[in-house]
Amino acid sequence: VQLQASGGGLVQAGGSLRLSCAASGRTRAWAWFRQAPGKEREFVAFTNTYNSITLYSDSVKGRFTISKDNAKNTVNLQMNNLKPEDTAVYYCAARTSGTIVTTSRREFDNWGQGTQVTVSS
């Protein structure tokens, strides 16, 4: 499936942004990852499309919320209380098969194009 991410931008510390990602077909699981300059791509959040399991990295837990709309094949990432260290390119990812619960980017075979999030101090 093809993924299209949107919603990035520039925000002051303490502000909020909402990222969205739309898939061209059905998915089994979604995740968001991010990559800051000079750093590896890291896990942010995960959800399945068939149950209520969600996972978050420790750095975003309590501030970010991942949600899905199975009927529309979309996933959102609500980001609140943003910090300068959240600045990165955010990527949505999807799996179209299996029932795995994972934080590993290697388990996702479909990726969006990335959307820039910049948080100023």
pLDDT score recorded for residue 28: 95
- Determine the Cα–Cα distance for residues 12 and 38; give it in Å rounded to an integer: 22
Q: Which amino acid is at 53?
A: I
Identify the CA nearest to 113 among candidates 8, 16, 28: 8
Q: Say how far apart CA 94 and CA 20 lie, in whole Å.
A: 13
**pLDDT tens track for 17-29:** 999 999 999 999 9
The separation between CA 12 and the C-alpha centre of its own chain, rounded to angstroms, equals 20
Residue 36: pLDDT band with limits 50, 70, 90: very high
Query: Confidence band (pLDDT; 50, 70, 90) for 52?
Result: confident
Q: In which band, very low, low, confident or very high, does the pLDDT at 55 lie, cut at 50, 70 and 90?
A: very high
What pLDDT does residue 18 have?
98
Q: pLDDT digit string (tens) for 64-121?
A: 999 999 999 999 999 999 999 999 999 999 999 988 899 999 999 999 999 999 999 9
Spell out the long-range contacts of 64-71 with Cβ–Cβ below 8 A and sequence spacing 24 or more.
66/30, 66/32, 68/30
